[in-house]
Amino acid sequence: MSRRLAAGAATLLLAAGLAGCSDGGAQERAAGKGVPAAGASSAGAADRTRRPEPEQASQSPSAAASASASPMPSAEAADSSAADGPLKGKVVVVDPGHNSRNNEHTAEINRQVDIGTGHKECDTTGTETNSGYTEAAFSLDLAHRLRKILQERGAKVVLTHDGDRPFGPCVTERADIGNKAHGDAAISLHADGAAPGQRGFHVILPASVHGGAADTSSIVGPSKELGARVAGKFVQSTGSAPSNYIGEGSGLDTRGDLGGLNLSTIPKVFIECGNMRDAQDAAQLTDETWREKAAQGIANGITDFLHG
């Protein structure tokens, strides 16, 4: 499919970030990224399972360088009082991808939910490194680090879950939690499960979609800006290169098949921080020092976005 250059400020922002770089489609379809638990169709894998081709090509500034069955206490439990700081008065929604107990609840997570433009599984198990470090564990650890930094800057942080639920939440509920929190920005944290040799991070932006409950017309623009800022700061903080298999070197991809983006009414992006199935990326993802740098980069991008 055709790829377009992202224009304007978003392009310049990512260019600045990529300039400091020292050195996550088919890749997930081949490697089983986010494979649903037994009995689920791979073609219907849940939100952020990359089996279908994106319905819209990625924005490429490379030239510029459904609730689950359980109740919903997590968002309120994770609402965090803000300190004074540059983000005072801002609400940031942080969505740790997947859930470490999803594989114990196959019927629940394989249940189809409406994402506006179609149906997908409620959630998936995610991927893991060859040594068994799971994407769910990674994303929750990163969420805790990110929350701490954002709180120190004065933001109120809402987690979609805190490892306190038996499964999920479903992708529909993850979006709804952010919407009800009236977040100023939201980010869903992940790591990819592509083939070895496919390396690097990428940020997923919402496509322009309108169908059923999905209408991203009001968030496409600000989400693009959020994504470019996060990508640029992620490079600066971690030294990681943008994906060599998605986004044509830009670090940005656009998708219209993710319920967490389709159903969001607030600016939101996903980030795949690296490829858990690649040994070099896995060495970073499993390293606490690197994860702290990743959290710092994401926080810096969000802070830049909220300060405009």
The pLDDT of residue 14 is 46
In a domain, 122, yes or no: yes
% of the chain surpassing 90 pLDDT: 72
* Contact (Cβ atoms closer than 8 angstroms) between residue 104 and residue 130: no
Is position 272 annotated as part of the catalytic site? yes
For residue 273, name the pLDDT band (cuts at 50, 70, 90): very high
1 within a domain of the structure (yes/no) = no
- pLDDT value at position 77? 42
- CATH code: domain of residue 84: 3.40.630.40
Q: Which tokens belong to 112?
A: 């189809």
The pLDDT value recorded for residue 299 is 99
pLDDT in tens, 118-144: 999 999 999 999 999 999 999 999 999
- DSSP state letters, 31-78: HTTTPPSTT--GGG--TT---SPPSSPPB-GGGG----SS---HHHHH
Residue 82 confidence class, pLDDT cut points 50, 70, 90: low
State the residue range of the domain holding 99: 8-307
Does residue 189 form part of some domain? yes
pLDDT score at 83 = 74
Catalytic residue among 104, 272, 288, 292: 272
Confidence of residue 257 (pLDDT cuts 50, 70, 90): very high
The total number of structural domains that make up the chain? 1
Q: 120 in a domain, yes or no?
A: yes
Per-residue model confidence (pLDDT) at position 84: 86
Going by pLDDT thresholds of 50, 70 and 90, the confidence category of residue 242 is: very high
